[in-house]
A = this chain, B = another copy of it.
Amino acid sequence: MARKTAKINVVPQAILETASNLFIRRGYEGTTMQDIALELGISRSALYYYFKNKEEILASLTEGLTIAAQQLASQVVEQGKAPEEALRELVHQHARLILFRPVQFRVVERAEGSLPEAQQKIAESARRILLQKFTEVIQRGIDNGRFRLVNAKMAAFAIIGMCNWTAWWFKADGAKTAEEVADMLADFSLHALERGEVKKGMKVGVDESLRMLEENLSQLKEVIDSQGRIRE
């Protein structure tokens, strides 16, 4: 039993990854179970032990991304944190999900038409919930005056899109790590939504106030520096 669990957790990721690479290279229709087994260096029967057919692999890929994204987002929102913090976590988690599986994400986008209708609906509903969670947190930020007055749903689409598109450019062996990219996207989203004026405003806590002081201080240093006063 323990052994089977280990197998189920470990082997399928390798299968999903290899299958994804083949689906991208040759297309979903152009790839057979035989191709996947060959590429993995395992027998067809070993592959069939995990997945009954190609469709099941695709369903598993889709689930691993869309349902996982929905669940992660729901968990964050349930924690009831302040909108800034909740949004930061939402972006961070969603981005990480894709940054660690960019090829799989692209396969899911491309091949979704090949999924049985019932499973397309499940994925569709998971995406809708993800969008709702982002929208909800942004709307909460607007309502309590921390975020600018924007259309919350459109802002949610913009942010999710920014995360999703990493699947088309992020390289795991590139100059930035997945964590750094996720941080940057969270930072970018927050800056896009936070109201400048409120920064001077009332409800900032001690931490936020200190952060602003530090920011201003380093800015002052920059100004002085650029005037050549510090280096003398």
Q: Which residues of B contact A154 (CB under 8 A)?
A: 176, 181, 184
Q: Among A24, A158, A159, A210, find the residue whose CB has the most chain B CB atoms closer than 10 A.
A: A158
| Copies of this protein chain in the complex | 2
- Say whether chain A's binding surface is mostly helix, strand, loop, or mixed: helix
Query: Known contacts A162-B162, A165-B162: does B216 contact A212 (CB below 8 Å)?
Result: yes
Closest to A24 in B: B113
Partner of A184, one of B150, B198, B220: B150
Query: Known contacts A191-B148, A216-B213, A223-B205: does B176 contact A158 (CB below 8 Å)?
Result: no
Query: Known contacts A216-B197, A230-B206: does B25 contact A113 (CB below 8 Å)?
Result: yes
For the complex formed, measure the closest distance between the CB of A95 and the CB atoms of chain B, giving whole angstroms.
10
Whether B196 contacts A219 by the Cβ 8 Å rule is no
A189 and B155 CA atoms in complex are apart in Å by 11
Whether A161 contacts B169 by the Cβ 8 Å rule is yes
Chain A residues 104 to 120 lying within 8 A of chain B, measured CB to CB, are 109-110, 113
Contact residue range for chain A?
35 or more
Chain A residues 23 to 43 lying within 8 A of chain B, measured CB to CB, are 24-25, 27, 29-30
Q: Among A109, A192, A205, find the residue whose CB has the most chain B CB atoms closer than 10 A.
A: A192
Interface residues, chain A, CB within 8 Å of chain B?
A: 24-25, 27, 29-30, 109-110, 113, 148, 150-151, 154-155, 157-166, 168-169, 176, 181, 184-185, 187-189, 191-194, 196-200, 204-206, 209-210, 212-213, 215-217, 219-220, 223-224, 227, 230
